[in-house]
Amino acid sequence: MKIKTLLLAAFAFLLLISCKTKTEKENFNQDHLIYATIWYQNSPETKALYYQGFNIAGERLKQYSKQKTAKPKAVVVDIDETMLNNVPFQAQEIIDNKEFSSEFWNEWSQLARAEATPGAIEFSKLCDSLGIPIFYISNRKVNEFDATLRNLDSLGFAFAKPEFIILRDNESSKKARREKVMENYEIVLLIGDNLNDFSEVFEDRSDSWGTPTVEKFKNEFGNRFIVLPNPMYGDWEKNIYPSRGMLPAQQDSARRSVLKGFK
């Protein structure tokens, strides 16, 4: 009798767990990404911001090209949402209600079908005409190297050659990869959609989302650092969620909790 009761209790517990997991899965959605993705994919303001960024980058580069430097000059750019536009992947995540995963990302990146961001190709050609190479430092993984090279090359990017593409091997910080470039070059300009694309000083976001560091380096923006827009994802997101593996409802509460109203 006792064993029967225990078995029944265990069965009820398992049923409860499986129902809970099922409900949580049903609750999962990517709706919080819809507005930012629509804006990024369709608004002419997004395109204008890219043109603005690359126009300023071009002007700065023309100035820097006249300055004397100890080493040859170079430009460092990020790839995703900087030179290549992956918004179809973002949109597909919402349409299919899928969480980000390396497998799903690979499915997209291996197609090598990302379009260029507005002004990016022209900027790469300007660098070429000034004789200043571009290093593409990206956190795409090394197994995406061929597809990434093919994607950049097919769009006509200057410096779309293996020696100028540096992907992620073992760490997400780009510090060591920038330092490798600096062994032979002076980096005069950096372009990215994530502050971590510019300097490791931005990697610590524990104090007010990293805002004090931006204040400290405010004169660099529009000069050596050119920031492009990305409201869909980035290191800024990490400040929303206090822990990993949160359930959809907890994530939703966490997002709401960081909003600051006026009451």
Distance CA 129, CA 41 (A): 30
Q: Is 78 in the site for Mg ion (CB under 5 A)?
A: yes
Nearest to 73 by CA among 135, 122, 159: 135
Near Mg ion by CB under 5 A: residue from 76, 83, 151, 193: 193
Give the residue with the Cβ less far from Mg ion, 81 or 158.
81
Q: Backbone phi, then psi, for 8, in 5-degree steps?
A: -65, -40
Nearest to 246 by CA among 40, 16, 32: 32
Give the residue with the Cβ less far from Mg ion, 81 or 93.
81
Distance CA 123, CA 75 (A): 11
Distance CA 245, CA 170 (A): 23
Near Mg ion by CB under 5 A: residue from 64, 81, 126, 232: 81
Q: Is 144 in the site for Mg ion (CB under 5 A)?
A: no
Query: Per CB under 5 A, which of residues 197..236 are in contact with Mg ion?
Result: none
Burial of 193 (0-12, 13-18, 19+ CB in 10 A): buried
Give the residue with the Cβ less far from Mg ion, 52 or 250.
52
Q: Which stretch binds Mg ion (CB under 5 A): 44-52, 87-95, 154-162, 192-200?
A: 192-200
Q: Backbone phi, then psi, for 178, in 5-degree steps?
A: -65, -40
As measured in angstroms, the least distance from the Cβ of 78 to Mg ion is: 4
Query: How many chain residues touch Mg ion (CB under 5 A)?
Result: 4
Near Mg ion by CB under 5 A: residue from 30, 54, 58, 80: 80
Give the residue with the Cβ less far from Mg ion, 188 or 228.
228
Distance CA 59, CA 130 (A): 12
Q: Which residues bind Mg ion (CB under 5 A)?
A: 78, 80-81, 193
